[in-house]
A and B are shown apart, each in its own frame.
Chain A
Amino acid sequence: MKTDTPTLSSNLAICAWIPLFALRCEEQRRDDSPPPHTPTAVLSPDDNRRLWQVSQIARHFGARSGMTVSQAIGMCPKLILFEPDPVYYDDIFTQLLTALYNISPVIEPIDLGRVYIGADGIERLYGPPARQLRAVTRVALRKTSIATHMKLGWAHGKFISWVAATKAKPGSPVVVDQDSSVEFLATQPVACLPIDPDTHRRLLQLGIKTLQDLAKLPEQAVVTQFGKSGRQALQLAAGRIIEPVRGKKILDPIIECVDFPSPIADHGLLTNALSRLLDRALRHPRRIGRRVQAVRVLAGLEQKSSWMLNVTLKNPTADRDAILDPIKTRIRQTPPAGAIENLTVEFTRFARGTDELQLFARDATSSARAGQRQALHWAAHEIKTRLKRSLLHHIIEVTPWSRIPERRYALIDYDP
């Protein structure tokens, strides 16, 4: 299904990974953060009786992700637990992604704390891979101090860059050039492949422990045993395929929010508020002519915690009830852990409208462009007023076919 978001891609990939991202956020935000060697863990946002992210010290004592709190405390009595705040983690991660757009326009976030950065073409800006990685670190550290825990890998393709990042240490990135990628992959364990635990277990039972062991096997035999995922695993292990980083052009989400005069805990009131916010968001001029594909619901709770839902719709729609129904289902499954002080609804992804919608709708893209032009006009006017001259310029084509590079383009004052 075609979505409305154009895709950029890059074969060269930088993997930036901050393990235990939520836990790092919690440790960093607190004035009274626990001393360095204290075991800590974050509770699961979906089930606050279970652990989610667990520090290395806590794992040393036997605490594990998914364990109940009582089990974990039994293993590790000194364990310090943090209530989850997914909106805060998402906010920090979004700030990090926004900063990384200064490095490259090809950004592909995978999960909280892990992102791929397309490195095609940035050599002219930043130089060789080592310098590119230093630039990434610098830009990330300016945004958040938890970037001190960031591990970086540079390689051809996402998979190798991810494996390189897992081998890296904070401050010591790993660069794998194309000639040495097969040799690098050979000694890596099969656990680093994107395979399910059952396939991993079967590989180990068959004595296939490293990627080299897997790469040596005939492809037909692997496909017979493990199917399509086996073929992909084999090709990744042998370094035969390069998965490019696929970035997406960011479209501004449509956001509607409400603050409640007193916190609400009643599900009926919550549903009513969501319904009104969805109505407002659907009426937004930028939504006209497009169908909603993904929605995010964020809530600020009492006691300064938060709650978040991401819902991807099976069928993109512009119908309020069709969007509300899956949200209600998810609320029943993972209700907020406290009373809600404020509520936000974001439409984060869109699909093209149907022909009927297009016929009777205003052109949303033109509307967005007009809004942007207006904002640019006022910004340019303000700069000119304050600084007495325009400091904004266009790049225009003069003689783009010229063999003399400085004849091709020129700068001209931006004058809206």
Chain B
Amino acid sequence: MVKNPRTPIRPDRLRPLNSPREVALQVDDSGHPLYVTDTKGAKKIEKVLDTWRVDDEWWRNSISRNYYELLMEDGSRLIIFNDLSTDRWFSQSV
């Protein structure tokens, strides 16, 4: 991270960082997540490690998300969330 250079910030020069990336989630009959599919392919979910909900920015475009921290079959960790307003799934670092 670089110290703020005090350069005047213009909105058109700001680019978002850590934007969510859409993924597809497959669940079993009882609703437990099985696979996450992104541009690199499908990965099997070993376990759900943690879940939490975020409700924010009610004063403008309200954001409601259910986050899940997943342990994948290959030992890596992935964080996904379900956007409750659109019912779409995304992956993101937190």
Spot the interface stretch: A76-84, A185-193, A390-398. A390-398
In the bound complex, do residue A412 and residue B18 qualify as a contact, i.e. CB atoms below 8 Å apart? no
Name which of A127, A128, A395, A412 has the most chain B CB atoms within 10 A of its CB. Answer: A412
A260 at interface, CB cutoff 8 A: no
In the bound complex, do residue B17 and residue A410 qualify as a contact, i.e. CB atoms below 8 Å apart? yes
Q: State which of B15, B74, B77, B94 has its C-beta within 8 Å of the C-beta of A412.
A: B15
**A128: nearest chain-B partner, CB-CB:** B75
Q: Per-position contact with B for A378-416: 1 when CB-CB < 8 Å, else 0? A: 000000000000000111111000111110111111111
Q: State which of B17, B54, B74 has its C-beta within 8 Å of the C-beta of A411.
A: B17
A47 at interface, CB cutoff 8 A: no
Kindly provide the distance from the CB of A388 to the nearest chain B CB, expressed in whole angstroms: 16
In the bound complex, do residue B75 and residue A411 qualify as a contact, i.e. CB atoms below 8 Å apart? no
B41 at interface, CB cutoff 8 A: no
B interface SS class: loop
Contacts of A124 in B (CB 8 A): 76-77, 93
Contacts of B54 in A (CB 8 A): 403-404
Contacts of B1 in A (CB 8 A): 395, 397, 409
Spot the interface stretch: B6-14, B22-30, B31-39. B6-14
Number of chain A interface residues as a range: 20 to 34
Contacts of B94 in A (CB 8 A): 405
In the bound complex, do residue B92 and residue A405 qualify as a contact, i.e. CB atoms below 8 Å apart? yes
Show 19 residue pairs from A and B whose CB-CB distance is below 8 angstroms, ordered by the A residue: A128-B74, A128-B75, A128-B76, A129-B75, A396-B2, A398-B14, A403-B56, A404-B54, A404-B63, A405-B18, A405-B92, A405-B94, A408-B18, A409-B1, A409-B17, A411-B16, A412-B9, A412-B13, A412-B14
Q: State in angstroms the CA–CA spacing of A191 and B83 once bound together.
A: 58
A219 at interface, CB cutoff 8 A: no
Given contacts A394-B5, A412-B7, A412-B9, contact A404 B56 (CB under 8 A): yes
Kindly provide the distance from the CB of B8 to the nearest chain A CB, expressed in whole angstroms: 10
B85 at interface, CB cutoff 8 A: no
In the bound complex, do residue B14 and residue A406 qualify as a contact, i.e. CB atoms below 8 Å apart? no
A123 at interface, CB cutoff 8 A: yes
Q: State in angstroms the CA–CA spacing of A128 and B72 once bound together.
A: 10
Across the A-B interface, give the 4 residue pairs with the lowest CB-CB distance, nearest first: A128-B75, A411-B15, A394-B2, A409-B17
Residues of A within 8 A of B (CB): 123-124, 127-129, 131, 393-398, 402-406, 408-416
Contacts of A123 in B (CB 8 A): 75-77
In the bound complex, do residue A395 and residue B17 qualify as a contact, i.e. CB atoms below 8 Å apart? yes
In the bound complex, do residue B76 and residue A127 qualify as a contact, i.e. CB atoms below 8 Å apart? yes
Kindly provide the distance from the CB of B14 to the nearest chain A CB, expressed in whole angstroms: 5
Name which of A397, A398, A403 has the most chain B CB atoms within 10 A of its CB. Answer: A403
Contacts of A402 in B (CB 8 A): 56
Q: State in angstroms the CA–CA spacing of A414 and B7 once bound together.
A: 9
Q: State in angstroms the CA–CA spacing of A267 and B21 once bound together.
A: 67
Name which of B14, B17, B76, B92 has the most chain A CB atoms within 10 A of its CB. Answer: B17
Kindly provide the distance from the CB of A379 to the nearest chain B CB, expressed in whole angstroms: 14
Within B38-73, the residues touching A (CB, 8 Å) are 54, 56-57, 63
Given contacts A395-B1, A412-B15, contact A406 B76 (CB under 8 A): no
In the bound complex, do residue B9 and residue A127 qualify as a contact, i.e. CB atoms below 8 Å apart? no
